[in-house]
Chains A and B, each alone.
Chain A
Amino acid sequence: MSDLAWRPQPFGWLTQAVWGLERAFKKARAAEQHENETRLRIFFLLALFATGFLFLGMAAARCALFAKQDVNGYVPPVATARADLVDRNGQLLAVDLTHYGVYVDPREIWDTAETQRVLARVLPGLQASRLEKALKSDRREYLIGGLTPDQKAKVEDLGLPGVSFEEEQKRVYPLGSTAAHLIGFSDKAGTGLSGAELALDGAIKESAGREPVALSLDLRVQAALDDELTKAVAKFHALGGIGIVANVKTGEILGFSSQPDFDLNLGGKALPDQMVNRGASSVYELGSVFKAFTLAAGLDSGVVTLNSTFDVSHPIELGGRLVHDYDKGDTSLQLWQVFTHSSNIGAAKMALMAGPQRMQDYFGRFGLFKAAPSELVESARPILPRQFSDQTLAQIAFGQGIAVSPLALATGYRSLMDGGIYSPLTIKKLPAGTEAQGRRVISEETSAKMLQLMRLNVTDPKGSGHKADVPGLFVGGKTGSAQKPEHGHYGKNNVSSFVAIFPAEGPLNADRFLVQITLDSPQRTPDSFGFITGGWNAAPTAGKVIDRIAPFVGVKRAPQTPAVSTIAAAAKPSSEEATQ
């Protein structure tokens, strides 16, 4: 025992066992029972082998039955690089689909000429020079990628030796040009380059192979917006158009259209002008739509009330330019009429009354001096006057001298409509019941007054937005038309806008929806009676959009105007016969 004492402790049990066995053998030998000694040794060896086999058998069975799948010969498919994009109702907007790349190995080809002829016929997109070069190579070469399963099957059916395929993922946009600027696109390496593809790049990559990423977009709303905006751009021969529909309460963008647009699957063939996101990355002087901010500032600060009166009988001089009113017959207007008649003189005078410091503060609060806070990277910074003087702020009061993106305008308007809280519009679908958190810019009372003013601008016969009215939907809104600066001075073309809210009536916390239409350089048409202002083109377009999307966003139409006529008829029996 003493000579074994140096051995390591962990193997002590083994040495003890061997030692015990040896003692048994010695005892057997001492008793001259050699047979027993041999038998014992054989038994011991057999037992050792049996234990070993048992252990190996169990280990082999365990490996065979419980091994992980990836070591069992199964090769998982090529993982998608990006998650699907869907609209708020789960409609597919962007998807990674398995396509196939074609490879050719000239060493395995028997008839090179035949292979060249046949491949050129079934793969029309393949450059002849590339095919020829690949066929002359001494190794396997990549020919062309992006084959659909049908195209792959056509090539495969030819049974050409030396032609093989490899799977590759390709981003596909099944809706083509629908909401192209909001959805955006990614490159072949799977990195977002524009729109939601860029804005939500991290989330899209993180969710790849799992659940889709849902945008706030409602495809039904988007379709109606696209359709009406396209028609308006065509009808008024405009250079472009922008449409935004948003849920005022949550800030979710339900529709976003920028015309002209392009097919996301053919991005490489699109013209630069088509690829411009006019809603987020272009800035415009938007004109009288700014009067809503001006009046809100005046009302909220207590500088004016709705019945404050302004003398608008004479043009006002700003920076050496005379500012006129569109409706030149007005002499004196109350504040609400300044809004509905869209009086430049009234708005400028109100801004001058409030003072540059106060107006600058309010315009800043409405987010008009910065890029719209948005997930969209394209969100453009405004073009601001070099300095804020009485004159420049009076100009801004009616929407000139400052150029902002339509998205920034919509974000500012949302705060007017939503109880005075400013928060960003979002392209992400939010959980039901989410109410956006933001900063207060005006009081709830002022917000309620602005809703009333906007409604009145549509219902009043002299209101500039009356062409946006839709029976039963209580549409409100503000028009805006601004001359476009061209070659250093204001030219003859306009940017015409209408920012609508519906329903404008009801409690302040009711569900409401913003519809903004902007047309770039609309032209005169016979049914606009020669006018190119927002009330004649953008306002009716917004009305048409509202009429179509109301059922999709769950706004119920109130009983329609004929019902009122019925009451009137009942009250005035003499006119009843005439109406019948």
Chain B
Amino acid sequence: MNGLAGFMGRTLRGVRLVEFGAVIVLLTMATGVYLAKAAAGRERSDITTVQGQIDEENKRLRLLQAEVAHLEEPERLVRLSAELGLAPTKHEGTPEELGDIARTALIPEKAAKKPAVVAQVAPQMAASQTPSSKIGAPQ
């Protein structure tokens, strides 16, 4: 108790040290709270701004998506294709085959010698057509 009383009794230029300490703690805490609030306010403002930008971008994105969908409207594409004289390709294949198609186009004389392929697949066709022909003579 004496130690505490001694500490409480110490003065600096007539003002007790403990009072200095208390004022410093008080100011520090007030400043801390102010700074924390100010920083949080700035952050909040930034977040609101960014959120607003995101919302605007989202709106714009949705608008653009709708415009893309509108521009890709099948009826419109058919009309434009017809104007340009385009028609669906008769070749059905995968995108990976595009290279082969390009190569075939570049060497037409080799492509012309391909009918052997047709002959190879022909038996499958013949086999696959058989079942329907059976109907003609039901049991």
- By a beta-carbon cutoff of 8 Å, the part of chain A in contact with chain B is 35-36, 39, 43, 46, 49-50, 53-54, 56-57, 60-61, 64-65, 69, 72-74, 76-77, 91-93, 95, 97-98, 149, 172, 174-178, 219-220, 222-223, 226-227, 305-307, 334-336, 452-453, 455-456, 459-460, 472, 474, 504-505, 548, 550-551, 556-564, 566-567, 570
Contacts and interface: CB of A to CB of B under 8 A. Distances in A.
Given A57-B33, A178-B74, A505-B131, A566 B136 contact: no
- The number of chain B residues touching the other chain, given as a range, is 35 or more
A175 B132 contact: no
B103 interface: no
Contact of A53 (B29, B45, B48, B124): B29
Given A46-B18, A307-B139, A456-B132, A174 B70 contact: yes
A306 B60 CA distance: 63
B26 A53 contact: yes
A35 B5 CA distance: 10
Contacts of B72: 91
B132 A559 contact: no
A290 to B, nearest CB: 21
Contact of A563 (B69, B119, B139): B119
A559 B122 contact: yes
B128 A175 contact: no
Q: 6 smallest A-B Cβ distances: which pairs? A: A223-B74, A64-B40, A306-B138, A174-B69, A563-B122, A559-B121
B125 A559 contact: yes
A566 B139 contact: no
B136 A564 contact: no
A222 B125 contact: no
Interface string B4-42: 010011000000001100100110011011001101110
B135 A74 contact: no
Contacts of A504: 132
Given A65-B36, A178-B74, A92 B135 contact: no
Interface in B37-69: 37, 39-41, 44-45, 47-48, 51-52, 55, 58-60, 62-63, 65-69
B75 A557 contact: no
Contacts of B51: 69, 74
A572 B53 CA distance: 76
Nearest to B128: A558
Contacts of B138: 305-307, 334-336
A456 to B, nearest CB: 4
Nearest to B1: A36
Contact of A77 (B33, B55, B73): B55
B44 to A, nearest CB: 5
B47 A69 contact: yes
Contacts of B122: 559, 563-564, 566-567
A566 B126 CA distance: 11
A219 B74 contact: yes
B74 A97 contact: no
Dominant secondary structure of chain B at its interface with chain A? helix
B118 interface: yes
A95 B65 CA distance: 9
A336 B135 contact: yes
A95 B8 CA distance: 74
Contacts of A226: 74-75
B123 interface: yes
Given A174-B67, A178-B75, A336-B135, A559 B118 contact: yes
A305 B132 CA distance: 17
A566 B118 contact: yes
Contacts of A559: 118, 121-122, 124-125
Contacts of B66: 92, 95, 97, 172, 174
Contacts of B126: 564, 567
A57 B29 contact: yes
Contact of B92 (A43, A220, A557): A557
Contact of A306 (B70, B115, B135): B135
Given A76-B55, A175-B74, 6 more contacts: A57-B36, A72-B47, A73-B45, A74-B52, A77-B59, A556-B92
B80 interface: no
B40 A53 contact: no
A306 B34 CA distance: 94
B47 A74 contact: yes
Interface in B56-103: 58-60, 62-63, 65-70, 72-75, 77-78, 88, 92
A374 to B, nearest CB: 24
Nearest to A506: B128
Contacts of A35: 9
Nearest to A36: B5
Given A50-B25, A558-B125, A43 B8 contact: yes
A361 to B, nearest CB: 25
A73 B22 CA distance: 36
Contacts of A560: 125
B97 to A, nearest CB: 13
A475 to B, nearest CB: 11
Contact of B123 (A61, A227, A505, A567): A567
30 contacts: A46-B22, A50-B25, A53-B29, A61-B37, A74-B47, A74-B51, A76-B55, A98-B62, A149-B59, A174-B69, A174-B73, A175-B69, A175-B70, A178-B75, A220-B74, A305-B139, A306-B135, A306-B138, A334-B138, A455-B132, A459-B133, A460-B136, A505-B128, A550-B92, A560-B125, A563-B122, A563-B125, A566-B122, A567-B122, A567-B123
